Amino acid sequence: MQLAAARIVAAVLMGGVFASVAEAAIIRGSGTFAVHLHGEVHEFDPPLVGSGSFEIRSPPYEPRSVDEVTGFDVLDFSYSIHGFTWDESDITNIEDGCCHFTPDGQVLSIDFFFDNGDARGSLIFDFQEGFFMSLFAPNLEGRGSSGDFTAGAEPFDFNSVVLPEPGSLALLGLGLLGLGLTRRSL
């Protein structure tokens, strides 16, 4: 009787897992970048150049039931320019959604707005429109890549992957463990 019950439990876990693995997913991504801001009329001395990196993760979502994936967690963020440095605790647009992806994992935009109390700015990597950057810091009077200033983000290296939601993988492991134990009992 115990063997039959164990097989039933394993089959239920496996069946539920295969249904949820097909539906629940998360997106993980990471990137590195170097940026520069320069003027049409004059250059900055010293030049406004910086670099950074980030790692992001989406909440679990069902690809067939959403048009766009937002609400990402910023797991890591590091950016330095003009003597100022920011990290993930300085990100100010988490609630508004800093990242926008299609359900199949194609990136639409990654937007970071940050403020460390001394200086603030934004980095917007829009994969349809291009790159935008702003910086509001002492002795800069607010500079952005519109008007008389342009910005570039080269090199920009970004990788992302769509993964099964971790809870589904745990259920799959439990189901496989249950099947293994029932075979051992025979």
Burial of 99 (0-12, 13-18, 19+ CB in 10 A): buried
Cα separation, 48 vs 150, in Å, equals 11
In the prediction, which pLDDT does 101 show? 92
Per-residue pLDDT for the chain (186 aa), expressed as one digit of tens each? 555 555 555 455 445 544 444 468 999 999 999 988 776 655 666 678 889 999 999 999 998 888 889 889 999 999 998 889 999 999 998 766 688 999 988 999 999 999 999 999 888 888 888 888 888 887 666 565 655 566 777 768 888 888 886 655 555 666 666 666 666 655
Cα separation, 1 vs 4, in Å, equals 5
